[in-house]
Amino acid sequence: MPPSADSRIALQGRGVGKVFGKGELLFRALYPTDIDILKGEVLVVMGPSGSGKTTLLSILGLVLTPTEGQVLIDGYDVTHATSDDMAILRRDRIGFIFQQFNLIPSLSAVENVAVPLLLAGIPRVERLARARRALELVGMGEKAAARPRLLSGGQMQRIAIARALVNEAPVMLCDEPTASLDGSTGRGILATLREMAKSEGRAVVIVTHDERVLSIADRLVHVIDGRVQAEDVNRAAGA
């Protein structure tokens, strides 16, 4: 049995904080914060540039080790897991969607989607089949063979979403997923993300400046000067 009894929580930060530098150059990017991300919900994190929201996302995504506090996945503290275990947890438990898409230019769409499966050592035939299914889920089945440079921003972001989905990760962490997209494309991406949360019970965290994202938010968190502010539930609900 996991230490945390609340099975609704997919990802949890307990007093997580981050300090960069030492001595006079010490800079606190994130004050100790408690945050729960529930299965099936879309949590939106907003705040001005440099406020610490990406730091929070990086800590929750096990990309950055907090200087204090704990990160729990399904109730298990993984803060002190080995770097290899962290990598495997990122690979299997967390799907990332980035503002710049971060697709590998030398790989086709389907190969990009299959990268997490390749890292996991899934045989080629199986991983390409799963990658194609993920592409079809985001409506990009016809572009499987296309290289990223031939695709539009929206198409690339859909491929990135497929890559985040392909390992059936229960948590999706999105960093400004609509920042590089036009209005209608952005709305399409947001609809896809909401669908992932609602139909498949994934926890979706979106860090953004984009007010359009509030349209799919279940909860809203503000990060200002490294402090996570009280949730603006009404605004989220009213959006």
Contacts with another protein, residue ranges (CB under 8 A): 2, 54, 57-58, 61, 63-64, 73-85, 87-93, 96, 98-100, 102, 104-107, 111, 115-116, 118-124, 163, 167, 175-176, 179
In this complex, which beta carbon is closest to another protein, that of residue 90 or of residue 143?
A: 90
Give least dist CB 78 to another protein, A.
Answer: 5
CB-count burial class (<10 Å; 0-12, 13-18, 19+) for 153: middle
Give whichever of 64 and 220 is closer to another protein, judged by the CB atom: 64
Closest to another protein by CB, 127 vs 236, is 127
Q: Are 61 and 164 in contact (CB under 8 A)?
A: no
Which lies closer to another protein via its Cβ, residue 8 or residue 124? 124
DSSP3 helix / strand / coil % (the chain, rounded to 5): 40, 25, 35
Whole-angstrom Cα distance, residue 57 to residue 63?
Answer: 9
Least Å from the CB of residue 164 to another protein: 8
- Strand-pairing partners, residue 59, are none
Partners of 97 in beta bridges: 174
Nearer to another protein (CB atom), residue 73 or residue 236: 73
Q: CB neighbours of 136 closer than 8 A, spacing ≥ 6?
A: none
Minimum separation from the CB atom of position 237 to another protein (A): 28
Please name the residue ranges forming H helices in the chain: 53-60, 83-93, 109-113, 115-120, 124-137, 153-165, 183-200, 233-238
Q: What is the DSSP letter of 16?
A: E
3-class DSSP state of 142: helix
The distance of closest approach from Cβ of residue 107 to another protein in the complex, given in angstroms and rounded to an integer, is: 6
Residue 27 or 237 having the CB closest to another protein: 27
Which DSSP category does 230 fall into?
P
**Is the separation of the CB atoms in 176 and 142 below 8 Å?**
no
